[in-house]
């Protein structure tokens, strides 16, 4: 029987039924919070009848389809770590994109892998793919405060006032409050950022608000899972134990530091010069 990692899940409903959002998640279609949009757009049917709400129960023998294609809970959960190169996009829906990160993973179509969050086209580094909807939801939902570490080159210096604004005060941009959990100098003009939310282009937007240019941005860790040693453009299939590392964080749910730092990198991979 294939192993799976331990992720908080909803309880099964009485009589063996489960909620539609849970069903779609375990089928690798989308995280649970993405099910609402699928249902509202009329793309989901149950026993040939359009689904009206994500709270409806699915029972053994029911046939669930998305865009007319039958979907069922996956029998083998797969976790993949990719070192995304710059110039690749993480979306799978953009038909006009010349370079998609998922195309670098040969087994992606076989297992219906989707990304757990995104890195923008100009950024590089660690990104995770899986067909385990609960795992993806655990990594991407803001309430879980999953830690992500980035190494950022800006070609300039941040003052102590800048760092206070980035980490304490926060920056308002396009209706969002942007704030890093930590910003640490590594080398001149190079910093380590720690984020626990996944707002779009968050670091670039924060630095732009300070009049700073982001020259290079690289994600090097998710939770306690490090990208160390994985070449650019290469991928690695993770064991359940390795994938579990991504769900660990040095920050607890109340925003305080956990007493156990785990395997976080103390040294930067930045090169001088």
Give me the residue spans of the domains in the chain.
17-71, 79-141+224-246, 148-222
Does residue 269 carry a pLDDT above 70?
no
Q: What is the mean pLDDT of residues 62-86?
A: 91
Report the distance separating Cα 117 and Cα 119, nearest Å: 7
The tens digit of pLDDT for each residue in 172-183 reads 999 899 999 999
17-71 in CATH: which number? Answer: 3.10.290.10
Q: Is 120 a catalytic residue?
A: yes
Supply the pLDDT for residue 14.
Answer: 46
Rounded to 5°, angle at Cα 92 from 91 and 94: 80
Supply the pLDDT for residue 16.
Answer: 65
Proportion of the chain in helix, strand, coil states, percent, rounded to 5:
25, 25, 50
Q: Which of 67, 103, 120, 137 is catalytic?
A: 120
Supply the pLDDT for residue 6.
Answer: 43
The tens digit of pLDDT for each residue in 84-134 reads 999 999 877 666 778 999 999 998 888 889 898 889 999 999 999 998 888
The pLDDT confidence band at residue 239, using thresholds 50, 70 and 90, is: very high
Report the distance separating Cα 259 and Cα 249, nearest Å: 11
Superfamily of domain 148-222: Alpha-L RNA-binding motif (3.30.70.1560)
Supply the pLDDT for residue 219.
Answer: 97
DSSP state of 239: P
List CB contacts of 163: < 8 A, sequence separation 6 or more: 183
List CB contacts of 125: < 8 A, sequence separation 6 or more: 83, 84, 119, 150, 217, 218, 219, 220, 227
The tens digit of pLDDT for each residue in 183-213 reads 999 999 999 999 998 788 999 999 999 999 9
Rounded to 5°, angle at Cα 80 from 100 and 105: 35
Does residue 260 carry a pLDDT above 50?
no
Supply the pLDDT for residue 268.
Answer: 58
> Tokens 């993806």 appear where?
136
pTM of the predicted structure, to 2 decimals: 0.76
Domains 79-141+224-246 and 148-222 share a fold: yes
Q: Which fold has domain 79-141+224-246?
A: Alpha-Beta Plaits (3.30.70)
Q: Where does 78-175 show beta strands of DSSP type E?
A: 79-84, 114-115, 124-130, 148-153, 171-173
């Amino acid at each position: 029987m294939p192993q799976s990692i331990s992720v908080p899940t909803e309880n099964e409903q009485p009589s063996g039924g489960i909620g539609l959002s849970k069903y779609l998640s375990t089928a690798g279609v989308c995280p649970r919070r993405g099910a609402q949009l699928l249902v509202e757009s009329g793309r989901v049917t149950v026993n040939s009848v359009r689904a009206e709400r994500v709270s409806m129960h699915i029972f053994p023998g029911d046939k669930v389809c998305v865009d007319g294609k039958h979907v069922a809970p996956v029998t083998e959960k797969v976790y993949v770590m990719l070192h995304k190169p710059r110039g690749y996009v993480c979306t799978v829906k953009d038909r006009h994109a010349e370079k998609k990160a998922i195309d670098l993973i040969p087994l992606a179509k076989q297992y219906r892998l989707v990304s757990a969050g995104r890195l923008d086209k100009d950024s590089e580094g660690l990104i995770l793919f899986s067909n385990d909807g609960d795992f993806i939801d655990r990594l991407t939902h803001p309430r879980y405060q999953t830690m992500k570490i980035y190494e950022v080159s800006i070609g300039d210096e941040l003052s102590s006032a800048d760092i206070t604004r980035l980490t304490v005060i926060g920056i308002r941009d396009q209706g969002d409050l942007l704030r890093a959990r930590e910003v640490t100098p590594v080398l001149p003009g190079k910093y380590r950022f720690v984020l626990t939310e996944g707002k779009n282009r968050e670091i670039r937007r924060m630095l732009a608000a300070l009049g700073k240019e982001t020259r290079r941005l690289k994600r090097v860790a998710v939770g306690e899972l490090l990208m160390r040693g994985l070449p650019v453009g290469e991928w690695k299939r993770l064991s359940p134990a390795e994938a579990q590392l991504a769900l660990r964080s040095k920050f607890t749910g109340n925003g305080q530091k956990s007493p156990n730092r785990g395997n976080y990198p103390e040294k930067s991979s930045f090169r001088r010069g």
